[in-house]
């Protein structure tokens, strides 16, 4: 079983409008809803790859009930979400169908009490002990959760002998790295904030020195850059891709975690991550991927040494 943790789950709402104009009323052409938050997205991709996956985190209120109802419709994902008194947040994405651009609005999330956090920690340790082969810690922290929360979760996983992938940002990332996760996956901006350097390769190596066993940085359309104990690697899709990048980073995390759980080497981990990310960009539905496209792209991903 692979475990994903989304402390700040969400109901992702997408509006499609013919054209987005400031200070104007808009007629929405289509509305979609799906369970969200980075770890939930990762869980769906892992399940689509055939893995047994359990999703945990916090959920509450009427919005949380909708999240759980929709998650129950995701084949292969086991719901281990913990209830909280507050209401799960919504994220609203407005897609301009003329330009293809997306404008995002993210609510902060519910206030988590100290008692709720303690109950979650106990449940998390139980899930680790129940046969987890790898764990992904993903996304922002809801109000009330300690800023060092991910460091606590990384240490608990390490104590249980479970490798950890951490995908967050800011102070939560800074503290989490010090707990020595197996992999961190920042994007270029998050990496620069962590290290103070905007040169990707030196910054990636610097992040390793701060505690991460390996660092995989997203370079957007240019693919991934990894600093690992076996050296540095670059992995890129075979060509420039036109499409919707929503969820592509979460697909990359799922690819890395899937390969990590299977004990694959770094070139294969990066190949899988880039291919899943590319297939997500090319999919007609945001955040999804077509298995045939994934297999086609996978055979053409370029992985080279960056040392």
Catalytic residues: 250
* Residue 222 Cα distances to 92, 153, 189, 261, angstroms: 27, 31, 14, 25
Q: Is 164 helix (H, G, I), strand (E, B) or coil?
A: strand
195 within 8 A of 234, measured Cβ to Cβ: no
Angle between helices 149-159 and 170-178 (to 10 degrees): 30
94 within 8 A of 15, measured Cβ to Cβ: yes
- Supply 198's token pair: 């905007």
Nearest-angstrom CA–CA distance, 198 and 192: 5
Q: Is 79 helix (H, G, I), strand (E, B) or coil?
A: strand
- Supply 65's token pair: 């009930």
Q: What is the DSSP letter of 49?
A: T
């Amino acid at each position: 079983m692979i475990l994903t943790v989304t402390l700040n789950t969400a109901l992702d709402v997408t509006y499609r409008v013919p054209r987005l104009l400031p200070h104007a009323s808009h007629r929405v052409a289509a509305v979609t809803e799906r369970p969200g938050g980075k770890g939930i997205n990762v869980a769906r991709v892992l399940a689509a790859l055939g893995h047994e996956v359990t999703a945990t985190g916090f959920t509450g209120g009427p919005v949380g009930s909708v999240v759980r109802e929709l998650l129950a419709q995701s084949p292969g994902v086991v719901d281990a979400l913990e209830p909280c008194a507050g209401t799960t947040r919504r994220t609203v994405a407005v897609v301009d169908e003329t330009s293809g651009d997306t404008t995002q609005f993210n609510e902060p999330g519910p206030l988590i009490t100290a008692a709720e956090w303690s109950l979650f920690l106990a449940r998390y340790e139980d899930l680790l002990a129940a046969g987890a082969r790898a764990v992904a810690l993903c996304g922002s922290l809801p109000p009330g959760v300690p800023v060092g929360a991910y460091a606590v979760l990384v240490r608990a996983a390490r104590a249980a002998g479970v490798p950890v992938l951490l995908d967050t940002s800011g102070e939560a990332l800074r503290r989490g790295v010090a707990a020595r996760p197996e992999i961190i996956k920042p994007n270029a901006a998050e990496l620069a904030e962590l290290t103070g350097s905007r040169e990707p390769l030196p910054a990636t190596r610097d992040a390793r020195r701060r505690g991460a066993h390996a660092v995989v940085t997203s370079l957007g359309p240019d693919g991934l850059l990894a600093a690992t104990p076996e050296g540095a690697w670059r992995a890129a899709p075979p060509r420039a891709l036109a499409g919707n990048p929503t969820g592509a980073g979460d697909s990359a995390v799922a690819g890395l975690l899937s390969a990590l759980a299977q004990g694959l080497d770094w070139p294969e981990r990066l190949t899988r991550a880039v291919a899943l990310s590319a297939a997500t960009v090319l999919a007609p539905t945001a955040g999804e991927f077509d298995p045939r496209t994934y297999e086609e792209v996978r055979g053409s991903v370029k992985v080279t040494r960056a040392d």
